[in-house]
Amino acid sequence: MERLWAPWRAQYVSSVAQANQEACFFCEALKSERSRDVELLVVARWEHCFAMLNRYPYNSGHVMVAPNRHVGDLAELTEAELCALMLRMREVVDALQRAFAPHGFNIGLNLGRAAGAGVPDHLHLHIVPRWYGDTNFLPVTADLKVISHALEDVYERLRTELQP
């Protein structure tokens, strides 16, 4: 059997195990001082929701938009929160379009652990920019995904676009 050593995965595996035992990282990021936004990858804060980069992105520019309240079900959102979530999603998509000019987007919710939610108790939208040619044989044959932009670069470009 061949082995592919990927020690960088240890950070992710450890963080997933810790995330299941610790407080909600969305709530922790939201409660933090704004001076920590860069460190925590929070790119925008609004009245009813906020946006942050996914630290382990599926693709460059992978953003999550979450309500400010810790709720895990769409039915728990107020009408104002639900509307704000959709409007801010659109704003993030527009900002990503200006900053990176992707050819398309995957946008969705994973509601519940069985649906793939890593944080089932704090719902959040995933916004994943897509480009022609951003998928290839590597994920299938090598279980390897190439992310073409550094998180710091994505953060700066997106934060700039989302500033009023």
Which residues participate in catalysis according to the annotation? 124
Count of CB atoms situated within 10 Å of the CB of 151: 17
Residue whose tokens read 């044959």: 141
Q: For residues 61 and 96, what is the distance between their CA atoms, to the nearest angstrom?
A: 7
- Give the span between the Cα atoms of 21 and 23, in whole angstroms: 7
Sheet holding 125-130, edge to edge: 42-45, 49-53, 63-67, 125-130, 104-109
